[in-house]
Amino acid sequence: TGLVTVDPGFMNTASCDSEITYIDGDAGILRYRGYPIEQLAEKSSFLEVAYLLIHGELPTQAEGDAFMERVNRHTLVHEDFRTFMGTFPRNGHPMAVMSSAVNALSTFYPESLDPFDPQTVELATVLILAKTRTITSYLHRSAVGEPLLYPDYSRGYVEDFLRMTFAVPYQQYEPDPTTVAVLDQLLILHADHEQNCSTSTVRMVGSSHANLYASVAAGINALSGPLHGGANEAVLKMLTEIKADGGDASAFMTRVKNKDQGVRLMGFGHRVYKNYDPRAAIVKKSAHAVLEKLGKPDPLLDIAMNLEEIALNDDYFTERKLYPNVDFYTGLIYKALGFSDQMFTPLFALGRMPGWIAQWREMMTDPTTKIGRPRQIYTGAVERNYLPVESR
Ligand code: CMC
């Protein structure tokens, strides 16, 4: 213990070995189980990627169908669970409802809590993937005052999520293929990112042998912060404020560079990527395509592109290697698809679910795992004697 050194933000501390996700931050490379993110984003589907992350291999047709069938079968939530979600105040942030709801799932499925029984863990895995889809639909519908819809087992994961979110009750829902494809892709891009703040939180909580629901709920809370998943909502707020102030991107950038009131260019910078975030490159292309296809030009996209253009040619950003991250353009797409700002981070959480689950499962089956328990360097008072209150 005499050799303990402090590593703020764990910039240089590896907390585990992992076979799940590979990042080369200097080269802008991201791979899930060896597959480049660009290929998965173009060719795969979210559920297939979930299977890949969790089970280590792409599923065969039969394995994929069985997995989808299992997830679909669990998308309906218990009526008491729906009532429970309805008890939160209307104007509370959906991320708080989401983490509470995922935590509360453990009380509805006590048979799925043993972290060391493979069958139980598989059940909890499927339950979480299924229920979080329904929970996320609920978050949107309760915000707009509409009832939660029942799942349609004949539809795919993303298509039925969109139907449950946006369908008008009692009217036939026709999925828009562009919308389904782009959301599928966004969920894939968010599905894992090795030992980031929320994933490390999931592992830390799980290292005490807390169940999967408790661990993932903690991850949702870690994700909610504006330096992490909450950045996608913060970007939209920033763009909206710049527009309201007359749309002057360079005036805002001057404030960022002067660190005026600590203002940051949200959606920029990354602990690991010191080159363009490969996810941001894909999202940027999709943002243009989607806004064009849906016929919804958004002046905020022009402001975002202006900010990026300035940043890529400015010493402040290039010297610090600050490039757009995944959160910079996603909000514009979610907005075009019809989601409110407060739904952006829950959508990130929905996408990250397979990664959290895969990382938790990897940790639980790794014989070298020990409870997470960092040390500290004590800098407080030396020993002193208690003083009665009248002598203080
Ligand atoms: N705008 C302006 N300056 C920045 C930014 C930014 N977005 N990010 C970092 N810097 C500056 C920072 O002020 C510091 O400057 P100096 O050397 O003069 O003190 C330098 O760059 C290094 O920053 P850091 O805060 O030490 O870097 P970090 O690795 O601890 O933080 C980060 C990484 C992502 C938290 C940070 O870049 C940030 O706050 N970005 C904005 C929030 C954001 O977009 N978060 C999403 C991250 S990606 C996906 C996700 O996790 O959700």
For the four alpha carbons of 13, 16, 17 and 18, in that order, the dihedral sign comes to: negative
- For the chain, give the percent of residues with pLDDT over 70: 99
Answer yes or no: is the C-beta of 346 below 6 A from any ligand 1 atom. no
Return the higher-pLDDT residue of 290 and 205: 205
Reading phi first (left if > 0) and then psi (alpha if -120 to 50, else beta), residue 23 is in beta
pLDDT in tens, 264-314: 999 999 999 998 899 999 999 999 888 888 888 899 999 999 999 999 999
Reading phi first (left if > 0) and then psi (alpha if -120 to 50, else beta), residue 189 is in alpha
Q: What pLDDT score was predicted for residue 169?
A: 74
pLDDT in tens, 97-122: 999 999 999 999 999 999 999 999 99
8 Å CB contact between 342 and 213: no
DSSP sequence for 54-103: HHSSPPPHHHHHHHHHHHHHT-S--HHHHHHHTTS-TTS-HHHHHHHHHH
Q: Distance between CA 310 and CA 341 in Å, rounded?
A: 25
Q: In testing the pocket of ligand 1, which one of 258, 320, 334 has its CB within 8 Å of the most ligand atoms?
A: 320
Answer yes or no: is the C-beta of 274 below 6 A from any ligand 1 atom. no
Q: Tell me what the mean pLDDT of segment 52-56 comes to.
A: 98
Q: What pLDDT score was predicted for residue 174?
A: 87
Going from the Cα of 141 to the center of ligand 1, the distance in angstroms, rounded, reads: 34
Q: What pLDDT score was predicted for residue 296?
A: 80
Q: Distance between CA 198 and CA 34 in Å, rounded?
A: 22
Q: Tell me the pLDDT band of 1, cut-offs 50, 70 and 90.
A: low
Establish whether 78 is a catalytic residue: no
Q: Tell me what the mean pLDDT of segment 44-64 comes to.
A: 98
Q: Tell me what the mean pLDDT of segment 214-232 comes to.
A: 97
Going from the Cα of 346 to the center of ligand 1, the distance in angstroms, rounded, reads: 22
Q: In angstroms, what CA-CA distances link 365 with 47, 111, 117, 121, 218? A: 23, 20, 10, 11, 20
pLDDT in tens, 143-193: 999 999 999 999 999 999 999 999 987 788 888 899 999 999 999 999 999
Q: In angstroms, what CA-CA distances link 249 with 46, 216, 244, 261, 331? A: 35, 38, 11, 17, 18
> Judging by DSSP bridges, how do beta strands 35-36 and 29-32 pair with one another?
antiparallel
Q: Tell me what the mean pLDDT of segment 348-364 comes to.
A: 98
Answer yes or no: is the C-beta of 326 below 6 A from any ligand 1 atom. yes
Going from the Cα of 170 to the center of ligand 1, the distance in angstroms, rounded, reads: 47
Q: Tell me what the mean pLDDT of segment 180-209 comes to.
A: 98
Q: What pLDDT score was predicted for residue 3?
A: 82
Q: What pLDDT score was predicted for residue 175?
A: 84
Q: Tell me what the mean pLDDT of segment 355-378 comes to.
A: 97
Task: Tell me the pLDDT of the chain averaged across its residues.
Answer: 95
Q: Distance between CA 188 and CA 347 in Å, rounded?
A: 11
- Closest residue CA from atom 10 of ligand 1: 269
Answer yes or no: is the C-beta of 115 below 6 A from any ligand 1 atom. no
Q: Tell me the pLDDT band of 318, cut-offs 50, 70 and 90.
A: very high
Q: What pLDDT score was predicted for residue 2?
A: 67
The active-site residue, picked from 74, 327, 341, 366, is 327
Establish whether 152 is a catalytic residue: no
C-beta neighbour count of 276 within 10 angstroms: 15
Q: What pLDDT score was predicted for residue 295?
A: 84
Return the higher-pLDDT residue of 288 and 15: 15
For residue 80 the two structure tokens come to 């008491």
Q: Tell me what the mean pLDDT of segment 242-247 comes to.
A: 94
Going from the Cα of 240 to the center of ligand 1, the distance in angstroms, rounded, reads: 21
Answer yes or no: is the C-beta of 137 below 6 A from any ligand 1 atom. no
